[in-house]
Chains A and B, each alone.
Chain A
């Protein structure tokens, strides 16, 4: 007596040997999800209490990064400009626009503007801007073309694998100190030549040190 129909043969075989591929695909999907902008929020422009445009301030006005991010060269934290810094200019220009009211209000009331964090590392990661900037890692290398961002977004994955890439091969990304704050920097000579030279000149630590856990986790 037959229990099953002919078709079940094909079905059963496909399902048995298909299971294997299914698992593989699942694993791959998991990785993709982890690395995807959904998880990392890469490329996602953040709304801000004041629609501050880096593109305008950097590209059009040509203001240097350090004018606002004051502590980037001497501290772990690049520094978010205090309201005072905004007002340095905006007490003169655009002093009336409703657009900038939140800034003026903050300045009046002394209540800080609460920005939405764009580049955010987990709390167990201790990134230090000063050392990177001083060793010739350009803002652009991690933050991307800020001069082209109307609303700032996170330009990199900011995941460990991504960090390690540079900690393992700094020569691929290092640039002359004076070029650190340039946007759209192009190495004058071949990076393959320049990179190692700068690495030696700036006395970067060895891969072993840069790969050591407590370099970033404390």
Chain B
């Protein structure tokens, strides 16, 4: 029967609803009817026409049943209906009749498409901040459904990060800008071409003096060439780049150190001692997936007993804002931004270099680091965060050089950016020229400067002084509204383009689907300024490479498309002058007290705000705070105490006259007397999710204080703002859940993970029952806590693979998030600078599953291969199984969350191999059973066993550190079985006798013997923090 769709307490759908959509409402109705006909996985059948259908501009039905429990909006009609339903309960039962369905074949089946058969995979690349990461995207009959990492790509190695995983949601986001508009009115593409044509003609006399092109950081050779060509024709025109999370400091640092802007690429696979000066190289940095992989590989060496000599890695982190890198450190030092440089200088000095620092800073940490580094010349590595001042970067290079790490753990290469520049300075000149009225035409290709340019640039008001303003972007955002021309941008999964990876590898961006709306690429918009405007971006990119791929172009080109990259385009190492430590600037020596200091960082989920309308990323709990949806102003315990702040209090943060309101969250590990603000939230104009969620920190961000604002004032506003945190207790209350030990301890007692008597797993003899034998296969999963860095990629991979709906902030606050896989995060040690434990928790697939025993209808039972099956269509929703699940991995559809997949564009998102769950049904991790069955069928057709590694779960596949391994326990030498035999292998809550199929490898820490051990036990002594009203 059709589920009730009325949501009386909801506001009308935002965004597109108000847009003047060309399709008449009648068309939309017909579309909806047509879509209604194919439900669940049947949905894909008639997509070929759909993709082309104009009805895509249609409005969306509201997605969440937020506030549905507020009794307010019930009119008379409603009331009668309610009574009616309750009386008619009996009638609801026996209607199991199949609805009539259409079946729509191809007219001409495309090559290598097998309808309903195995999907195809295409290689493409995603750029964040200009740097490309390779993706492999799954496509069902021309409908991209899932993004994976591209194993061939140096920046991916088969892994994808949260942004890559979430890109699909971005593609199908119904709020994306859908029409080319001039002054809010729809215009055809030719009209735009004409306008550009005249604009260029107008510029010709002044040789482009009035023309400015503002882009994001560009690494795309093709785009760069296009712009250069354009500028060649109009030499007076200027090309400006702006990235709000700018890497200017990196470029400056390089200049300071080497006199030219080289890129320095770290190679962690050789590093035995790593010192990160505020670098979040595991979270967000060019090539972070690669670095995470190498780091984990080194970490693993710790686990091999004989690896005692030489193997392994020790990570020191000096950081100002808590990051997952800091969370994975063996020693973490939280300092205020102003102190980093002093530390660096002292270190330099301690290593006998020059740098104006005094080695005699009686700092135990420093001396330990110094001696450790000194002991590992050539195998040590200093990494400096983008947010650090140029001097620190230069110092970093200097120290690396002093330690002889060049050509060992770091290599210098030509800059990857097409035109390395001081972006801030360029932007400043631009706004000055705008102010002076010298800018006649401004092309903003991507980016959202009105929202993210430094506050003192007053970009918005200056923009008004430009005569002709053009904005190309995915959304009709803050900038678009201030431009006459708004060109909807094609999503990268709809575009032809290219870009370079962190090591210079040229990566191809190829489309998975024709633009859903009439989106355009930068190439096409730029083309509009040339005399060949009709060239498609495919031709542009292809033509660019035609001359560069050698004689056999076709072959090489096909190979490039297949691999997703152009072979051997990584930049070679180059030698650079020996860097010298820069002279200490004044304020650096001064340092000293600056009062409360605000830190600005990119949001772990929303980056600089570009992902602000991505439901998956919004709902994803941030790695450490576990806050989903809104961001918050993070204070350390002490500082919050001093200011008398509680969680969810609203404060006003003022800096140089500007001020913002923000909700407070208390985060141990934030340095005292600082407040950490994540950028990218609180968008003023975005889609249904972005607009108004969280708070915007950009107004406090000034060009001379991009990363930290000393001397902010924080005032309590009195009111509170609800925050949706998915883990209220980040404290193991003395339970040994996420187990870890120091390497020394481990070497002494490899079996340390099984010492606690209470946690012994009951032996088979303790059970009255004979265990069931597994038939042919015995699936299992192992998660290496030593490798897990808590990056959340697995969570989103799972969400994307398994059609997991987004439930919204209100529901998350009620404890109803649907993530099948969650990454638990616990604190240990000293609350001021705690130790962190990450623990991904999927379904344990217990052999003696408590959930199965209590299900009255047998909706969750055991498969012959040891899976804990969940059968949605049998489930009546007693929620007993969830109550009885000690791991609380089961999720329940309290409302008809999956309605969101009925939205026209969202219909294309779901994975056709996974049932879309409906209201009142329990669901949970299935070990991606659809993949298991697929592989088994393939194997059975060939009359063979499934090979080890043939099946990977979504989480395992995307894990950057390969912490997760799926496999067959019946096969004694599968990777999984080998892991199971390791002494560190343990099962969560095994003392309950559930006999989980999911097991963990205890984590290892490699602390310096010179430094005091952190307390390993979780915060057993601390009382769990006070509950907020939520959940």
Contacts and interface: CB of A to CB of B under 8 A. Distances in A.
A80 B109 CA distance: 10
Contacts of B871: 213-214, 217
B363 interface: no
Interface in A61-96: 70-71, 74-77, 79-84
A110 interface: yes
Given A112-B49, A123-B39, A212-B865, A76 B940 contact: no
Contacts of B42: 123
B96 interface: yes
Interface stretch (B57-65, B100-108, B966-974): B100-108
A197 interface: no
A213 B863 contact: yes
A110 B52 CA distance: 12
Contacts of B207: none
A116 B105 CA distance: 11
Given A81-B105, A128-B937, A218-B933, A212 B98 contact: no
B50 to A, nearest CB: 11
Given A122-B98, A205-B940, A217-B915, A117 B103 contact: yes
B873 A217 contact: yes
B940 A131 contact: yes
Interface string A122-164: 1110101011001100000000000000000000000000000
A215 interface: yes
A130 B105 contact: no
A113 interface: yes
Contacts of B940: 131, 134-135, 203, 205
Contacts of B657: none
Contacts of B915: 123-124, 217-218
Contacts of A215: 863, 933
A4 interface: no
A153 B871 CA distance: 29
B937 A82 contact: no
A76 B116 CA distance: 6
A34 interface: yes
B41 interface: yes
B114 A126 contact: no
B86 interface: no
A208 interface: yes
Contacts of B46: 112
A111 B98 CA distance: 26
Contacts of B929: 214, 218
Contacts of B585: none
A206 B867 CA distance: 16
A41 B99 CA distance: 10
Interface string A192-209: 000000000011011011
Given A77-B116, A112-B104, A122-B873, A208 B775 contact: yes
A135 B536 CA distance: 49
B40 interface: yes
A126 B94 contact: no
Given A77-B115, A115-B102, A214 B108 contact: no
Interface in B43-102: 46, 48-49, 94, 96-98, 100-102
A136 B776 CA distance: 21
Contact of B94 (A30, A77, A110): A30
Nearest to A75: B117
Contacts of B96: 34, 39
Contact of B872 (A74, A83, A106, A124): A124
Contacts of A40: 98
B189 to A, nearest CB: 23
Nearest to B105: A80
Interface in B114-131: 114-118
Interface residues of A, number: 52
Interface in B937-988: 937, 940-941, 943
A116 B100 contact: yes
Contacts of B40: 123-124
B864 interface: yes
Contacts of A110: 107-108
A52 to B, nearest CB: 12
B913 interface: yes
Considering residues A106, A124, A215, A218, which has the most beta carbons from chain B within 10 angstroms of its beta carbon? A218
Nearest to A132: B937
B773 to A, nearest CB: 9
Contacts of B115: 71, 75, 77, 79-80
A148 B29 CA distance: 40
Interface in A23-68: 30, 33-34, 38-41
Contacts of B941: 130-131, 134
A74 B869 CA distance: 26
Contacts of B49: 111-112
B203 interface: no
A71 B873 contact: no
Contact of B775 (A30, A112, A205): A205
Nearest to A158: B98
Nearest to B99: A120
A100 B874 CA distance: 44
A214 B933 contact: yes
Contacts of A173: none
A181 interface: no
A74 B113 CA distance: 12
B9 interface: no
A114 interface: yes
Nearest to A133: B941
A83 B116 contact: no
B950 to A, nearest CB: 16
Contacts of B869: 212-214, 217
Nearest to B772: A208
Nearest to B118: A75
Given A205-B776, A213-B871, A218-B930, A84 B118 contact: no
B114 A218 contact: no
A25 to B, nearest CB: 16
B109 A126 contact: no
A49 B117 CA distance: 26
Nearest to A114: B102
Contacts of A39: 96-97
B863 A212 contact: yes
Given A124-B872, A205-B940, A214-B869, A79 B108 contact: no
Interface in B893-934: 913-916, 926, 929-930, 932-933
A74 B97 contact: no
A203 B943 contact: yes
A116 B94 contact: no
B107 A209 contact: no
Given A76-B116, A120-B101, A130 B107 contact: no
A218 B116 contact: no
B157 interface: no
Given A120-B98, A126-B913, A214 B867 contact: yes
B921 to A, nearest CB: 10
A209 B864 contact: yes
Nearest to A39: B97
B556 interface: no
Interface string B194-219: 00000000000000000000000000
Nearest to A135: B940
A120 B100 CA distance: 9
Given A75-B118, A84-B109, A208-B864, 9 more contacts: A82-B107, A115-B105, A116-B100, A123-B40, A131-B941, A209-B863, A209-B865, A214-B863, A214-B926
29 contacts: A34-B96, A38-B97, A41-B98, A71-B114, A74-B117, A75-B115, A75-B118, A76-B117, A79-B105, A80-B103, A82-B109, A84-B108, A110-B108, A111-B49, A112-B48, A112-B104, A112-B107, A117-B101, A117-B103, A120-B101, A123-B915, A124-B40, A124-B915, A130-B937, A130-B941, A205-B775, A209-B775, A212-B867, A217-B871
Sorted from nearest, which 5 A-B pairs have the closest CB atoms? A77-B116, A123-B40, A75-B117, A212-B863, A208-B864
